[in-house]
Amino acid sequence: MWIRGRSLRPGRTDDEDEFQLDLSKDYAENIRDILINICKKQGTTSERRRLSYLNAFVKIITKCEHDYSKLGLTADEILFCLRPSLLHDTTQVRSGGLRALRYMLCTKQEATTCIKIQYPLLVARSMDLVTGNDNERVQALRVVRRLLCLDPAQFPVSLARSLVAIASGPPEDHLMNLCLAALSELCVLNPHLLITVGGVTTILRSLTNVRSARMAEALVGALLYLQNRPDTRRRAALSL
Domain ranges in the chain are 17-154, 170-240
Residue range 119-155, pLDDT digits in tens: 999 999 999 887 677 899 999 999 999 999 999 999 9
pLDDT confidence of residue 202: 94
- The structural architecture, per CATH, of the domain 17-154 is Alpha Horseshoe (1.25)
The percent of residues above 90 in pLDDT, for the chain, comes to 65
pLDDT confidence of residue 14: 52
- Helices 199-206 and 176-189 cross at an angle (nearest 10°) of 130
pLDDT confidence of residue 107: 94
The percent of residues above 70 in pLDDT, for the chain, comes to 90
State yes or no: pLDDT of 10 exceeds 60: no
